[in-house]
Amino acid sequence: MLSILPNAAFVQFFVDGGLGGMSIITLLFAFMLFSAWKFPAWVKEIGIAALVASILWTLLGLYQAFGAILRAPDISPIVIFGGLRVSLISTIYGIIIYLISLIIRIVQKPKI
């Protein structure tokens, strides 16, 4: 099925990951790109901050999911694994941003 927006899958990926955490991680990504231009020494540190924020967002999501499972113990394994899959979206996003920060650091590293 054709979508009106060419990047509708990415938007859905962003929304599924949680607007709050994904927005924070995206802001860190924007700061990282800005620091690559103005403050190159901060690129790796901001990449690590994005990675840590994504892991924290994943753990918060898992905490909420496990609380919901405790309240309704008759949940299908398909629903549980679907939730686990969605909870990993922010971690994948954070890892990608961290890898980009490492690539930027490698490219900007002064040659001896």
Q: Where are the domains of the chain?
A: 34-108
Give the pLDDT score at 34.
Answer: 93
In three state form, how does the secondary structure of 82-93 look? HHHHHHCHHHHH
| pLDDT, tens digit, 9 for 90 and up, residues 10-39 | 777 778 878 888 999 999 999 999 998 888
Looking up tokens 């990951």 gives 17
| pLDDT, tens digit, 9 for 90 and up, residues 57-103 | 999 988 988 888 889 878 888 888 888 888 899 999 999 999 999 99
Give the pLDDT score at 1.
Answer: 45
Distance, CA of 60 to CA of 73 (rounded, Å): 20
Distance, CA of 78 to CA of 25 (rounded, Å): 28
Give the pLDDT score at 83.
Answer: 84
In this prediction, residue 4 has a pLDDT band, given cuts at 50, 70 and 90, of low
Beta strands in 2-94 (DSSP E): none
